[in-house]
Structure 1
Amino acid sequence: MNDHLERMKNQKGFIAALDQSGGSTPKALLNYGVPESAYTNEAEMFDKVHQMRTRIITSPAFDSQYILGAILFEQTMDSKIEGMYTADYLAEKKGIVPFLKIDKGLAEPSNGVQLMKPITDLDEILQRAKERHIFGTKMRSVIKEANSESIKAVVDQQFEIGKQIMAAGLVPIIEPEVDITSPDKEQSEAILKEELLTNLNSLKEDENVMLKLSIPTVANTYKELTTHPRVVRVVALSGGYSREEANQKLKENDNIIASFSRALSEELNVNQSEEEFNAALKEAVTSIFEASTEKTGK
């Protein structure tokens, strides 16, 4: 685990988000060229998505030279690649740090935000994650309006659960996403930054988190967070931007690396030959790596 921590803190690269869950899987499969008519139930759907993820992870383009970590969905963690549990395959065969998405999705919108639904089996998930050699976790909330009380509630919920994750020996990725279509996105980000700092400053010296944030409207809004002693790494989600746009915006932010999902896989298709697939993935991986390492920020 110390090797993983050292890698996440100091090495160049980005995190691949391969954690589409039940709600977003049909869309992810459709983007990959697999229509809903190709499966008849949830089990078949997850088989299809595991085939897609296996193809990505086993590709020579999915290389630790560029990719530091990968975020998995629970069923992916419990599935195997070439006879090995996915996290073991990532760590041992690829040299890539495995993370697990643990949230149960979003609650209904209320006062400009969406909190996380209760994670009722958190202790059990964390225990299984440790058994499967997972390094860290990820959980997502969404901020749609610059409501100070609501944003505080989002961050407080994230850190409350985050402390349980840290107590179990894992590193949480705190993800309070600001909706990129929000009319007051910049104001929301200013409030969010202060709430994050307040919570970070209350952590003990052995409590470390990662932050996954929307790329800010004002470049380097989160620069102070990237140097906080309790922050292992700040990563950015693509949030609905195309890869080109997400890469361009990311380059303006010092010390922040990508953790893209759709922007990573948008050019991949089930009908591509291995050569075409690997070339498309290689292009995506190298461009996201460059955006994560070559900065134009001031």
Structure 2
Amino acid sequence: MNNQQLERMKHGNGFIAALDQSGGSTPKALAAYGIPKDAYKTEAEMFDLVHEMRTRIVTSPAFQSDHILGAILFEQTMDRKVEGKYTGDYLADKGIVPFLKVDKGLAEEENGVQLMKPIDDLEETLRRANERNMFGTKMRSVIHEANKDSIKAIVDQQFEIGKQILAAGLVPIIEPEVNIHSEEKAKCEDIMKEEILNHLNALSDDQNVMLKLTIPTKANFYKELVDHPRVIRVVALSGGYSREEANKKLKENDGIIASFSRALTEGLNVNQSDEEFNQTLEDSVRSIYDASVNKN
């Protein structure tokens, strides 16, 4: 583990950019960027286009370490190059800590939750992540209803895999997302926090994780998690909120920083001039940074 990157993730000012759309979410990301489905015929062409989009983002003068602490990458992005360097190395040279999305997507909803699909090649993926100089990983599951047993299963799965990631020398970002549209959102958060605390309290002193959570219904509800000695950082997903709304809610939560995807790239378009693109991204970056650092 890179101790300099660890200190940056613990104490640095800024946020984490989520650039990890995978096969299922890439068409939506491209469409939002102004590239419709009929602009590409194969999956390979689709991934070429999204890599061009991500390259344009990370090479922008607006994408710098003074505002951005880290970036989460899709596996193909990790294996591709930006300006002649593997993406993780390119980011690290800019002072931005690279993470890798390792989950294989969500299982079908059952009993109010969506567990992660099996990660059959996890050991090999973690080997390659180390080879590509990743600092950590990220994996997502989703909670829709306040079913205690199901939420426990979500958190159990996250931490079970998280321990394998820790054993490989990488830092896991544990992400049990609560659906922002759930009619039981606050109750889901109550149950989930209790289960997360149970797992955190059982970790050894050398097992430290990050948490990526939906912005809570009640401000500062996750303070116990933010302050927990086994937690390097708590970051927030935008979860479908607009950037303006996500920033507003984030500002109410001390110690939590952003890890936005759609909210980060909102307003970017393939047809923008470089000047327009860079200015739009800079405005986005500065607003998310402000919400992450300058609390009410």
Tell me if both proteins adopt one fold, taking TM over 0.5 as the criterion: yes
Identity across the alignment (%): 74
How far does the alpha carbon of each residue in 1:57-82 deviate from its partner, in whole angstroms, 9 at most, with x for none?
Answer: 00000010000000000000000001
3-state SS of 1:30 partner? helix
3-state SS of 2:16 partner? strand
Which structure 1 segments of 5+ residues have no match? none
Query: 1:37: how far off?
Result: 1.3
Match of 1:230 in 2: 230
3-state SS of 1:155 partner? helix
How far does the alpha carbon of each residue in 1:216-266 deviate from its partner, in whole angstroms, 9 at most, with x for none?
Answer: 001111011001010000000000000000000000000000000000001
How far does the alpha carbon of each residue in 1:91-126 deviate from its partner, in whole angstroms, 9 at most, with x for none?
Answer: 01x110000000000001011000000000000000
Match of 1:72 in 2: 73
Match of 1:12 in 2: 13
Match of 2:244 in 1: 244
1:196 and 2:234 aligned: no
1:117 and 2:117 aligned: yes
1:153 and 2:153 aligned: yes
3-state SS of 2:233 partner? strand
Partner letter of residue 60 of structure 1? P
Which structure 2 segments of 5+ residues have no match? none
Match of 1:282 in 2: 282
3-state SS of 1:191 partner? helix
Query: 1:153: how far off?
Result: 0.3
Match of 1:264 in 2: 264
CA distance in 1, matches of 2:42, 2:175: 30
Match of 2:24 in 1: 23
CA distance in 2, matches of 1:150, 1:133: 35
3-state SS of 1:260 partner? coil
Partner letter of residue 214 of structure 1? T
1:219 and 2:219 aligned: yes
Query: 1:18: how far off?
Result: 0.1
Partner letter of residue 82 of structure 1? E
How far does the alpha carbon of each residue in 1:187-225 deviate from its partner, in whole angstroms, 9 at most, with x for none?
Answer: 000111100000000001100100000000011110110
Alignment of 1:91-102 (within 5 A): 91-92=92-93, 94-102=94-102
Partner letter of residue 173 of structure 2? I
Query: 1:38: how far off?
Result: 1.2
Q: May I ask how many residue pairs the two structures share in their alignment? A: 295
CA distance in 1, matches of 2:218, 2:192: 13
TM-score of the superposed pair, with normalisation by structure 2: 0.99
How far does the alpha carbon of each residue in 1:248-286 deviate from its partner, in whole angstroms, 9 at most, with x for none?
Answer: 000000000000000000110000000000000000000
